[in-house]
Chains A and B, each alone.
Chain A
């Protein structure tokens, strides 16, 4: 978990015009924002658009981020909402405006400690979940996942959902125990 004071300092410095502080925020949180946008199913240009949108929102809110320690989660949530707006918009209707004010609790899984826990838990899952989630993380499409695991293509989506549900349950249990 990043040092909250350091994040508070970075936000304060960026709000005062310090480009290097902004660059450090980007270096720290840009990769996970990209991962969120891509996990929403966006192609590269749209993912870039969603990530940029989230940074522009941070520019607007630099001076009023309520919890500096949560800025990573806030950026992840904002990226996800920008991504979902893009998806909704491409399906026709004009999008209503939405700005993330509070981070989704689930975005905490993107923190570094959560990442380690996540992979430890994935490797403890039974097949086909262990392989399926590893393949999904490698950006393989449903058809390739189906071929590699010997599953009917129609069952990849439901199986993935069940595996993610198991993962979520196991992580909740571990968090309860800790």
Chain B
């Protein structure tokens, strides 16, 4: 079995008077892409904050091997920095000065943003902003990537394209990924494993292992069955 990078054991998290997460167990292996789906407001983003270390669990333990970067739904870029500066800001702090420009140029190339290197985030489309977020997070060269509904504000076509770009980029530069979404189709297209979370207080209600690689289509084997199983678990079918 691969090395366990994220290990949550009996995790609970309460906001004052509200139990958000309870008895949640999760183990994510190195290089795995785990997608969490669940009803709106069930605590998916809280789970990511626990994984990122932005929040500490009220109960249980969160063990994380390595640093993480989070990609947010929108607004995570610094609006006072250009695309180039935002990506540069994401580089490891100990990255040698002479290699920084090269690394930024590489990520601009990979995410097809070279032409917009001098633009500010508000001058870009939603899809382009998410590409910058992706480039900034991946440029950090951290072991763990956390994605908090990163494509939910985008239109269908852009969302599909971004999803494919993410999968392609991860194939070239593997990371351990936890991806939170409310989009079931998105989950079953790219996940190695889908975790279905229950309503608040949330815990893992079902785990689905998806067969094959991460570039599935709706016609790929197991996709329709997985979607159906998730819908049933969420009481939507």
Q: Do A and B bind each other?
A: no
